[in-house]
Chains A and B, each alone.
Chain A
């Protein structure tokens, strides 16, 4: 069990900051990595965003007001970083976000860090065809098995709205998978 309050204190104390920060990274790096990777698809982009997320945490720890959980706060930063990144990337390529994501999912087979089979790739294409908020809810619920209350705190959305989003996301993905398979 992580003593979040103690960890935050150590992160804010310049004498213990580095050790505490290393501990924080070791705790959350994998969850955050996969959360970001599902949004931006590419490993290299994910690596950049993950590092930037931790740097933001390090720099802004003094403004963390402890009204929410540290874990939720970091996840929120990672989500915002990933979404901002992917939107900027789409803007640079003069395409809209869904078009870029579909292109990324379509090119997965040539990605050296992707070894999924056909059905897994189809699932990725189905996910990126969703509105990006539904993508987030689906990924966090289906792959990361997070509780609605946790997702609610991270995305600052009511549990009811999240449940509705997830339901719609599942229905659309199932529809896509049926169409592709048939």
Chain B
């Protein structure tokens, strides 16, 4: 459409100059636009470079993550099912605890009794081992071991002994429930120890 024809069809419009739209811009705007664009570009690239780019993930991570989550959920639900407590559990827990404490006290006293019986054997075995190692000779026997030497070792507390030593020294000894059921009083035990000759016991073993 040429200017002449525009005059004909739009005389009112032609009165308004196309170069004067009325819009204006801030002073110096066009002088600063390039720098503004570069600043924005740099800000964008900085934000992209910080956007997890320094992190990496295992290969196929996103392909397997659903399966991992589902497996975990299933495991948790099984655990929850198993961890459900029986009815009235908390009402019965105290009597059960006391029952166990009582049972353990029997076991502890039995253990003490066993220890008392086994100590002489253990002492003898330990002394023998020490003499063998110290003298480094295969000729050492119980015959050559004087009773005075043994007593001296015990008196000077040169032998440390505990239940572990005993268990190690006598692996063949098994505790049976028959034995546990027997009750041995302290007096009986002392009488037994006084009556028996320890040396003989050592020779027998």
Quick one: which of B12, B22, B33, B38 contacts A121, CB cutoff 8 A? B22
Give A11-42 as 1s and 0s: 1 = Cβ < 8 Å from B's Cβ atoms. Answer: 00000001000100110011001100110000
Quick one: which of A18, A108, A113, A114 contacts B26, CB cutoff 8 A? A113
Residues of B within 8 Å of A174, CB to CB, are 9-13
Cβ-based interface call for B171 (8 A): no
- Interface size bracket, A side: 35 or more
Give the distance in Å from the alpha carbon of A141 to the alpha carbon of B1 in the complex: 9
Residues of A within 8 Å of B22, CB to CB, are 108, 114-117, 120-121, 124
Residues of A within 8 Å of B25, CB to CB, are 33, 43, 113
Let me know if B10 and A55 touch, CB within 8 A. no
B146 to chain A, nearest CB (A): 97
- Interface size bracket, B side: 20 to 34
Cβ-based interface call for B130 (8 A): no
Cβ-based interface call for B24 (8 A): yes
Quick one: which of A38, A58, A141 contacts B41, CB cutoff 8 A? A58
Give the distance in Å from the alpha carbon of A141 to the alpha carbon of B2 in the complex: 11
Give A141-182 as 1s and 0s: 1 = Cβ < 8 Å from B's Cβ atoms. Answer: 111010000000000000000010011001101100110010
A98 to chain B, nearest CB (A): 20
B35 to chain A, nearest CB (A): 9
Let me know if B33 and A50 touch, CB within 8 A. yes
Cβ-based interface call for B76 (8 A): no
Give the distance in Å from the alpha carbon of A47 to the alpha carbon of B20 in the complex: 20
Let me know if A25 and B12 touch, CB within 8 A. no
A147 to chain B, nearest CB (A): 12
Cβ-based interface call for A70 (8 A): no
Residues of A within 8 Å of B38, CB to CB, are 18, 22
Give the distance in Å from the alpha carbon of A140 to the alpha carbon of B15 in the complex: 18
Residue of A with least CB distance to B35 = A22
Known contacts being A29-B30, A29-B33, is A120 close to B20, with CB within 8 Å?
yes
Known contacts being A108-B22, A121-B22, is A55 close to B44, with CB within 8 Å?
yes
Cβ-based interface call for B37 (8 A): yes
Let me know if A166 and B1 touch, CB within 8 A. yes
Cβ-based interface call for B63 (8 A): no
Cβ-based interface call for A75 (8 A): no
Cβ-based interface call for B40 (8 A): yes
Cβ-based interface call for B18 (8 A): yes
Let me know if A170 and B13 touch, CB within 8 A. yes
Cβ-based interface call for A84 (8 A): no
Residues of A within 8 Å of B24, CB to CB, are 113-115
Give the distance in Å from the alpha carbon of A7 to the alpha carbon of B95 in the complex: 92
Give the distance in Å from the alpha carbon of A116 to the alpha carbon of B24 in the complex: 9
Cβ-based interface call for A51 (8 A): yes
Let me know if A25 and B13 touch, CB within 8 A. no
Known contacts being A120-B16, A123-B16, A170-B6, is A33 close to B36, with CB within 8 Å?
no
Q: Which residue numbers of B lie inside 8 Å of A, CB to CB?
A: 1, 6, 9-13, 15-16, 18, 20-26, 29-30, 33-34, 36-38, 40-41, 44
Q: Which residue numbers of A lie inside 8 Å of B, CB to CB?
A: 18, 22, 25-26, 29-30, 33-34, 37-38, 43, 47, 50-51, 54-55, 58, 108, 113-117, 119-121, 123-124, 141-143, 145, 163, 166-167, 170-171, 173-174, 177-178, 181
Return 28 A-B CB contacts under 8 Å, by A number: A22-B38, A25-B33, A29-B30, A34-B21, A34-B23, A37-B23, A38-B21, A38-B23, A43-B25, A43-B26, A47-B33, A51-B33, A51-B37, A55-B44, A108-B22, A113-B23, A116-B22, A120-B20, A143-B18, A163-B1, A167-B9, A170-B1, A171-B9, A174-B9, A174-B13, A177-B13, A178-B12, A181-B12
